[in-house]
Amino acid sequence: MRAPAVLRRPRPTGRPRATAPRTAGRPRTALRFVLALAALGAVVVAGIALGAVRIPLDVVWRALLGQEVQPPYDVIVHDIRLPRTITATLVGASLGLAGLQMQTLFGNPLADPFILGVSSGASLGVALVVLAVGSSGWSGSFASGLGGGGDVGIAVAAATGAATVMGLVLLVGRCVTSSTTLLLLGVMFSYLVSALVTVLLAGATPELVHQYIQWNFGSYRGVTWSNLHVLVPVLVCGLLACLLLPKRLNALLLGERYATTMGVDVPVTRTMIIVVTAVLAGTATAFCGPVQFLGIAVPHLCRALFSTSDHRVLLPACAVLGAALALGADVLAQLPGDEVLPLNAVNAAIGAPVVIYVLMRRSPSGVPA
Amino acid sequence: MTPPLRIRDLTVGYGRRRRPAVVLEHVSADLSAGELACLVGPNGAGKSTLLRSLAGLQPFFAGEVLLRGVPVGRLGRAARARTVAAVLTDRFDAGRLRVCDVVALGRHPHNGWSGRLDGTDRRALDGALELVGATDLAHEPFAQLSDGQRQRVLVARALAQEPAVLLLDEPTAFLDPPARIALLSLLQRICSEQGTAALVCTHDLELATRYSDHLWVTGTDRGLVTGAPEDLAVNGALSAPFAQPGVHLDLRSLTFAPTDRPGPTARVQGRGVRAALAGHALRRAGLRVPGEPDDGVDRATDQGAGVRNGATPLVSVDVDGHGWTSTTATGRTTHHGCLEELVRHVRILLRDPAVRDPAVRDPALGEAPGEEPGPTEGGQA
């Protein structure tokens, strides 16, 4: 940290120009966006090329341009790699944005998209379906869908569970003025719902418990084109809704009371943020299971890499980097070949060291990331 | 001219409407343009509650708040934020916000949905930074500022809102004395130059009396008394809420001081800084030094009070070229090169039992007027 005396020293150039270098900082931000987009592009190519079957780059290129792909590859590209790529990028962008909004709303660097109980609610829905199906003897027909997480029944159950818990949190939130209290309420709701899930699982057969655990690992595979007809519009709408929020989110950086004195309607803003987050995280969870780590790590990564707290930069940055990281992790998860590593394990194993490195490198002077 | 802030019959408190805890009732006051007012009062007297209600952070129970003549309920959030800006005690994690980012947030009620700054916004931003003398800090990370710089930047952020009324909640709380004085004189300058009206809630009564045009004093029967600091001092309204046994408000310096208890006195002969510091040291050692400003006795009638009361000073101190010379009642003189020696010397003298018991030393002293413990009011005497 530099000494205050140094800070106070007047500029030699005389004329005060407080905000002029802001524009000078813009090309750097633009350059970083270009790099982030390039990274995303590279990961998309890798996402289509790599997997159990390697696909030549020229085929990948033609597939990306929407041209015909020759027979040995067309099924793989069309039915597996493209849906997986679309799902991973959209879910990654959604979770990154949702995490950023939660961290800003609660002024808490540990907040993630699931902090208010979205994923617990979804788990409850899934656990209920698993149990109901298991006891009625349909498990055989269900198992295929469960592993991939793309089954419509599972998705509906997860979405219903998530929506129910978020509705409860919002309802209770109307009577709570402090966001910290709301945060604690959400965490408590999560615990309660998890307790219910545990009770349900305790009575299930090992096979069903395994299916539930598979769902809990998270996966972008198994999302079909018909699933995408739901997933894509909902997530795109959610992502676009975030465009309404950067000004309000920026004001919230100074805390809710300062935001109020600046003319922000804090209760309305809070509801907007929670609804948008719930739609993004809830939909993602419904189709892909609780994809951990992205929501908490991507915002930190973006703040550090773009060295800003301005949400007009952070929102698009989190979307791009979230998409790239999500897809990158999934590509790595299936590098071993036929065996596919659990997605959440890969997310944490790659992401956590990266974030730790970025945080340590970028804040030597006590500036929090 | 309509005052920027007018309060009529306002009742504020906290808690829900079902079980309101009223802390201030039927409060009326005006804050005119260019005026710096300080809101003072003991802890728990409702200073902060009043300020928060005026800032729109909590509802008030009854009465009216008029901003530029318009009832606050009829103003939208943005319109209100363009009239009133606040500097709060809230600590926030500034993250990677730079100083200019924080100040730019003050443009929130003025700019469009995206928060993008246009030319007017930038001029307001630069103007606000320049007013508080933080132009060269503009690109520093806010989190690295000292507390004094931080407060100046937060004032700039409030100024960027271009408010008619500036509300500040304990802005000097974490500042060292020079920074407190710098901040208050900055506010005074802003008020007189910009025509902004400022209401500063503070514990620092001495600073408040020195800088404010009006004091708003809470703590008397859930009411609010307003007036010029000196007038309130004379009519007793200033000292009443702070009344505490053993402490009084010295009317000449408008500072609080412990009320002298009966006890041995000392006399300082000579003038100037060294004499004043000798008095300071003697008082610290536990002696009364008549004739000094904060002894709680009216100086005009106090010349040589110790002598008139028949109380011989325990020591009499002369300032000389090399230090200080003390002479005890028995005539023993000692030279002290520094005041620490003087204090040590006095403390040894005070250990004498005859000195410690005033009745033994001077029977007349107990009957002297104005010596009983408790708040004494120089102005009323």
Question: What are the pLDDT digits (tens) for B160-175?
Answer: 999 999 999 999 988 9
Which residues does chain B have within 8 Å of residue A178's beta carbon, measured at their own beta carbons? none
Which residues does chain B have within 8 Å of residue A2's beta carbon, measured at their own beta carbons? 144
pLDDT digits (tens, 9 = 90+) for B202-243: 988 889 999 999 999 988 776 889 999 999 888 888 888 887
More confident residue, A6 or B196: B196
In the A/B pair of chains, how many CB contacts fall below 8 A? 129
Please provide the average confidence, as pLDDT, over all residues in chain B: 83
Is A18 at the interface with chain B, CB within 8 A?
yes
What is the count of structural domains for chain B?
Answer: 2
Which residues does chain B have within 8 Å of residue A365's beta carbon, measured at their own beta carbons? 141, 144
User: Is A54 among the domain residues?
Assistant: no
Q: Do B42 and B190 fall into the same domain?
A: yes
d(CA A134, CA A230): 27
More confident residue, A84 or B297: A84
Last residue within a domain, chosen from B209, B242, B275: B242
d(CA A189, CA A173): 12
Q: Which of A9, A21, A367 sits opposite B139 (nearest CB)?
A: A21
Q: Calculate mean pLDDT across residues B190-208.
A: 92
Is A257 at the interface with chain B, CB within 8 A?
yes
d(CA A288, CA A283): 8
More confident residue, B248 or B4: B4
CATH code for position B18: 3.40.50.300
Does residue B310 have a pLDDT over 50? no
Half-sphere exposure of B146 (CA within 13 A, CB side): 14
Last residue within a domain, chosen from B178, B207, B242: B242
Q: Are B248 and B239 in contact (CB under 8 A)?
A: yes
Least confident window among A32-36, A276-280, B307-311, B346-350: B307-311
Q: Are A9 and B136 in contact (CB under 8 A)?
A: yes
Which residues does chain A have within 8 Å of residue B161's beta carbon, measured at their own beta carbons? 262
Does residue B256 have a pLDDT over 60? yes
Quote the minimal CA–CA distance from A328 to chain B in Å.
Answer: 27
Given this model, what pLDDT does residue B17 score? 61
Contacts of B196 (CB under 8 A, 6+ apart): B33, B34, B159, B163, B164, B165, B166, B190
Strands B62-67 and B36-40: unpaired
Give A311-354 as a DSSP string. HHHHHHHHHHHHHHHHHHHHHHHTTTSSS---HHHHHHHHHHHH
How confident is residue B180, by pLDDT bands cut at 50, 70 and 90? very high
Given this model, what pLDDT does residue B312 score? 77
d(CA A333, CA A341): 5
Q: Do B72 and B171 fall into the same domain?
A: yes
CB within 8 Å: A303 and B85: no
Q: What are residue B85's DSSP bridge partners? A: B166
Q: Do B74 and B178 fall into the same domain?
A: yes
Given this model, what pLDDT does residue B222 score? 65
Range of the domain at A294: 73-362
User: Is A358 among the domain residues?
Assistant: yes
User: Is B108 among the domain residues?
Assistant: yes
User: Is B254 among the domain residues?
Assistant: no
d(CA B282, CA B272): 16
Q: Are A94 and A286 in contact (CB under 8 A)?
A: no
Q: Which of B115, B135, B138 sits opposite A312 (nearest CB)?
A: B115
Last residue within a domain, chosen from B208, B242, B276: B242
Is A244 at the interface with chain B, CB within 8 A?
yes
Given this model, what pLDDT does residue B54 score? 93
In which element (H, E) is residue B40 found?
strand B36-40
Half-sphere exposure of B286 (CA within 13 A, CB side): 12
CB within 8 Å: A19 and B141: no
Quote the minimal CA–CA distance from B155 to chain A in Å.
Answer: 12
Of all residues in chain B, the one with the smallest CA distance to A12 is B136
Q: Are A54 and A73 in contact (CB under 8 A)?
A: no
d(CA A253, CA A8): 26
Of all residues in chain A, the one with the smallest CA distance to B78 is A263
Q: Which of A10, A247, A260 sits opposite B113 (nearest CB)?
A: A247
User: Is A326 among the domain residues?
Assistant: yes
Q: Calculate mean pLDDT across residues A262-282.
A: 90
Is A29 at the interface with chain B, CB within 8 A?
no
Given this model, what pLDDT does residue B16 score? 66
Considering Cα of A192, then A193, then A196, then A201, what sign does the dihedral take?
Answer: negative
pLDDT digits (tens, 9 = 90+) for A258-267: 999 999 999 8
Interface test with B, best of A106, A254, A361 (most B CBs within 10 A): A254
Which residues does chain B have within 8 Å of residue A106's beta carbon, measured at their own beta carbons? none
User: Is A20 among the domain residues?
Assistant: no
User: Is A25 among the domain residues?
Assistant: no
> What one-character DSSP code corresponds to residue A76?
I
User: Is B186 among the domain residues?
Assistant: yes
More confident residue, B357 or B123: B123
Range of the domain at B222: 5-242
User: Is A10 among the domain residues?
Assistant: no
Q: Which of A2, A8, A244 sits opposite B136 (nearest CB)?
A: A8
Q: Calculate mean pLDDT across residues B69-77.
A: 90
Does residue A22 have a pLDDT over 50? no
CB within 8 Å: B122 and A19: yes
CB within 8 Å: A263 and B117: no
CB within 8 Å: A261 and B84: yes
Integer CA distances (angstroms), A339 to A79, A171, A178, B37, in order: 19, 44, 47, 73
Which residues does chain B have within 8 Å of residue A175's beta carbon, measured at their own beta carbons? none
Half-sphere exposure of B366 (CA within 13 A, CB side): 7
d(CA B193, CA B106): 20
Q: Are A129 and A157 in contact (CB under 8 A)?
A: yes
Number of H-type helices and E-type strands within chain A: 17, 0
CB within 8 Å: A16 and B77: no
Q: Which of A261, A264, A368 sits opposite B93 (nearest CB)?
A: A368
Nearest to B129 by CA among B159, B107, B150, B166: B159
Q: Do B275 and B356 fall into the same domain?
A: yes
Which residues does chain B have within 8 Å of residue A307's beta carbon, measured at their own beta carbons? 96
Least confident window among A178-182, A251-255, B88-92, B197-201: A178-182
Does residue A151 have a pLDDT over 90? no
Burial class (CB in 10 A: 0-12, 13-18, 19+), A336: exposed
Quote the minimal CA–CA distance from A257 to chain B in Å.
Answer: 7
d(CA A8, CA A94): 43
pLDDT digits (tens, 9 = 90+) for A304-348: 889 889 999 999 999 999 999 999 999 888 877 667 788 888 888
User: Is B251 among the domain residues?
Assistant: no
How confident is residue B358, by pLDDT bands cut at 50, 70 and 90? low
> What one-character DSSP code corresponds to residue B17?
S
Does residue B380 have a pLDDT over 80? no
Is A108 at the interface with chain B, CB within 8 A?
no
Contacts of A320 (CB under 8 A, 6+ apart): A33, A36, A37, A40, A93
CB neighbourhood size of B36 (10 A): 24
d(CA A39, CA A31): 12
Is A4 at the interface with chain B, CB within 8 A?
yes
Does residue A45 have a pLDDT over 50? yes
What b-and-e string marks burial along A342-357, b requiring 16 or more CB atoms within 10 Å of the CB? bbbebbbebbeeebee
Q: Which of A246, A264, A366 sits opposite B114 (nearest CB)?
A: A246
Q: Which of B80, B97, B130 sits opposite A309 (nearest CB)?
A: B97
CB within 8 Å: A367 and B129: no
For the record, the structure tokens of A342 come out as 């659990």
d(CA A258, CA A256): 6
Q: Do B238 and B288 fall into the same domain?
A: no
Q: Calculate mean pLDDT across residues B90-107.
A: 90
Most distant CA pair in chain B: distance in Å?
A: 83
Given this model, what pLDDT does residue B376 score? 41
User: Is A22 among the domain residues?
Assistant: no
Which residues does chain B have within 8 Å of residue A262's beta carbon, measured at their own beta carbons? 81, 105-106, 108-109, 161
Which residues does chain B have within 8 Å of residue A17's beta carbon, measured at their own beta carbons? 126
User: Is B258 among the domain residues?
Assistant: no
CB within 8 Å: A368 and B105: no
The rounded percent of chain B whose pLDDT value lies above 70 is: 86
User: Is A6 among the domain residues?
Assistant: no
Does residue A55 have a pLDDT over 60? yes
d(CA A338, CA A345): 17
| Backbone phi, psi, residue B104, to 5° | -65, -30
> What one-character DSSP code corresponds to residue B137?
G
Is A310 at the interface with chain B, CB within 8 A?
yes
Please report, as a single letter, which amino acid is at residue B358: P
Does residue A16 have a pLDDT over 60? no
CB within 8 Å: A253 and B95: yes
Least confident window among A164-178, A182-196, B153-167, B364-378: B364-378
Contacts of B64 (CB under 8 A, 6+ apart): B6, B7, B8, B9, B10, B71, B72
Please provide the average confidence, as pLDDT, over all residues in chain A: 81
How confident is residue B39, by pLDDT bands cut at 50, 70 and 90? very high
d(CA A259, CA B105): 9
User: Is B202 among the domain residues?
Assistant: yes
Contacts of B270 (CB under 8 A, 6+ apart): B318, B319
Q: What are residue B216's DSSP bridge partners? A: B39, B226
pLDDT digits (tens, 9 = 90+) for B113-131: 788 888 899 999 999 999 9
Given this model, what pLDDT does residue A4 score? 43
What is the count of structural domains for chain A?
Answer: 1
Given this model, what pLDDT does residue B100 score? 92
Given this model, what pLDDT does residue B6 score? 93
Given this model, what pLDDT does residue A90 score? 95
Q: Do B173 and B218 fall into the same domain?
A: yes
Given this model, what pLDDT does residue A362 score? 56
Does residue A77 have a pLDDT over 90? no
Given this model, what pLDDT does residue A13 score? 42
CATH code for position A269: 1.10.3470.10
User: Is B50 among the domain residues?
Assistant: yes
Does residue B364 have a pLDDT over 90? no
CB within 8 Å: A369 and B84: no
Nearest to A345 by CA among A180, A239, A218, A234: A218
